[in-house]
Amino acid sequence: MAASRYFKQIAETIDVEPSPTIKAQALRKSIVTFTHLVAQQQAPGIVTVPVEDALVIAVERRTLPATNAWLDGRHIIKNECRVGTFTLVNLNVEVTQDMTSAFDSIHMHFPRSALSLISEEQGGGSVEALALPYENSTDDVVVRGLSNSVLPALEHSERANQLFTDHIAMALLAHIVQTYCGSAAAPSLLRGGLASWQVRRAKELLMAHLDGEIALEELARECGLSRSHFARAFKKTTGKPPHRWLVEQRLERAREMLLKSTLSLGEIADACGFADQSHFTRAFSASLGVTPSEWRRQRQS
């Protein structure tokens, strides 16, 4: 896969271990890949990334000084990138950069076609270019927030579920299209939520996949809607995005099992779609302010 080549090239050049990646299906066959790249010491050498019809958003978690770069052989100065800002890397041209310092950044790789698909869903046209020059980084609170939200999943990639990563990828692409593609897309107004049959079908599917391993596109298809329309309508109807609604259902089922069964915490975690007992404990404690075992003891005493 093209994303794998991109991440492997960087990791090999700066001599660091390849970071875990997580993948989301943003639209149809448009795969968004996230990874967390870190070099704790000065990165050696010059990196040239593979040319492909794709884009990368690199969000900095550590300030990078200005350095030399080349776009299709043309020398430029890549200006300082402050913490929280992002750079858009257009992989349609050969990008070479002198990596002279330690760095810590979250990279989001996606095919150019994904932007056009999002734009078309929102009633716009094909996206040919974005007005974000490589030499400057951009301060965008939405991109920064989305990258921060995916970081825990990158740190524990085995616990990342498909529904969550799909949602983050779609939100990211929709924001990029709406903010940096000018008049290419004009978001359509949602006049209502889901019909009763759509709510019923969506919830049936979600409850059948408590582990979150169901694509947002599949939920939308079952409801006869585009992904973006479904996501907005589901939130309008339930008050929550699909992945957040599903987490609450997991916790509700877990509370019922804690009260009515003698199953161990590990068995309940597995039955309710959590990655493992520690994942269950963290989610439960974050929601209720007490561990599952303590919650059970309080109600059985």
- Quickly name the fold that domain 2-182 has: Jelly Rolls (2.60.120)
d(CA 59, CA 65): 14
**pLDDT tens for residues 245-291?**
998 998 999 999 998 898 999 999 998 988 889 989 988 998 889 99
Domains 2-182 and 189-239 in one fold? no
What pLDDT was estimated at residue 14?
64
d(CA 57, CA 183): 21
d(CA 102, CA 111): 28
Residues of the chain whose pLDDT is less than 70?
1-4, 11-18, 26-29, 42-44, 121-129, 182-192, 301
Q: Find tokens 């404690």 and name the residue.
A: 285
Name the burial class of residue 108, with classes exposed (0-12), middle (13-18) and buried (19+) by CB atoms within 10 angstroms of its CB: buried
- Give the number of C-alpha atoms closer than 13 A to the C-alpha of residue 148, restricted to the C-beta side: 10
- Quickly name the fold that domain 189-239 has: Arc Repressor Mutant, subunit A (1.10.10)
- Give the number of C-alpha atoms closer than 13 A to the C-alpha of residue 108, restricted to the C-beta side: 30
Q: Report, in this order, helix, strand and coil percent for the chain, each rounded to 5.
A: 45, 20, 35
User: What does the radius of gyration of the chain's CA atoms come to, in whole angstroms?
Assistant: 21
Tell me which long-range contacts 147-155 makes (C-beta under 8 A, separation of at least 24): 147/57, 147/59, 147/86, 147/106, 147/108, 150/22, 150/34, 150/106, 151/36, 151/106, 153/22, 153/34, 154/19, 154/20, 154/21, 154/22, 154/34, 154/35, 154/36, 154/106, 155/36
What pLDDT was estimated at residue 16?
63
What pLDDT was estimated at residue 184?
44
- Give the start-to-end residue ranges of the domains of the chain: 2-182, 189-239, 244-300
Are 66 and 78 contacting, i.e. CB atoms less than 8 angstroms apart?
yes
Angle at alpha carbon of residue 119, lines to 118 and 120, rounded to 5°: 90
d(CA 39, CA 34): 17
What pLDDT was estimated at residue 126?
60
Bridge partners, 57 (sequence order): 88, 108
Class of domain 244-300: mainly alpha
DSSP 18: P
What pLDDT was estimated at residue 190?
42
